[in-house]
Amino acid sequence: MNIHSLLQLLVVIEECKLAKNVVSELEVVLRSYKFDFYGLLRQPRPNIELASFILAGRWPEKWPLTYENKRYMLVDPVARHLSRAQRPFRWRDAVTALKSDPLRRRMEQMMADARANGLIDGYIFPIHGRNGLLGSMTIGGDAVDLSPTELSLFDAVARKAFWRLLELRGEAKSLEDATKVDAKLTKREMEVLSHLAEGMTSIEISRLLVISNHTVDWYMNSIQDKLKAKNRQHIVAIAFRNGLIP
């Protein structure tokens, strides 16, 4: 275990005066653990280019284009499991947790493409605030086994690097000051909203919840009215922005 380097990184990040220094110090430690790839990002919003939420990262050359062209954002098992997770988890554990998901086949295709690009396995660390999921750090490449202690320290590093980069970019305060909308959704409406945010259609949601398509549309209309949204895309945008979807 190289715990000392993680402890030292927590101190160094706080002392960095430039964003590029935070990134370089983080990358040194990641390389020492044999993690070739990583991403540190704010939680993406629907219909907005993913690149605008990336604070720092390094990926296999062809992977970002493959991920975008094949629209893997809609089925990414790691991203989907992240929306529910409170603690760090391993990529492969996300696939296992979603083994009964109706989109399982597309997930498996995505993970096969990821492995072909050198993303064999990795870990992801959720970063939460009072409004839910704010961002995450993911690290990966070859399969690396982290001890519970290392996992906890990487979790601390993720949060420290996330907030320090936001501070240096002048974006921390706006994120801390974000408030929730005053909308009281029912349990069923929250279920429908969650599936809508995952890119599912009314028909797919109706099959998953075993209700009629018309009933799903009724819930959609109710959610739209409560959130004062213009359309379904706006529903999801408002929900993400205000922490209704964790």
Name the pTM for this structure: 0.72
Residue at 121 is within a domain: yes
**Mean pLDDT rounded to a whole number for the chain:** 89
In a domain, 246, yes or no: no
Domain end residue (candidates: 176, 200, 226)? 176
Could you list the beta-strand ranges (E) of 78-228.
Answer: 89-90, 121-129, 132-141
In a domain, 89, yes or no: yes
Q: Where does a domain end: 132, 148, 176?
A: 176
Is the pLDDT confidence value at 206 over 80? yes
| Domain membership flag for residue 182 | no
pLDDT of residue 45 exceeding 70, the answer is: no
- The answer to whether residue 181 is domain-embedded is no
Asked, for residue 232, whether it belongs to a domain, the answer is yes
pLDDT digits (tens, 9 = 90+) for 67-91: 989 989 888 999 888 877 889 999 9
Same-domain check for residues 151 and 31: yes
Range of the domain at 143: 3-176
Confidence of residue 246 (pLDDT cuts 50, 70, 90): low
Are both 166 and 213 inside the same structural domain?
no
Is residue 122 within 8 Å of residue 35, measured between CB atoms? yes
Q: Are 118 and 141 in contact (CB under 8 A)?
A: yes
pLDDT digits (tens, 9 = 90+) for 111-143: 999 999 999 999 999 998 765 688 999 999 999
Number of structural domains the chain divides into: 2
pLDDT at 47 over 60: no
Residue 146 and residue 143: Cα distance in Å, rounded?
10
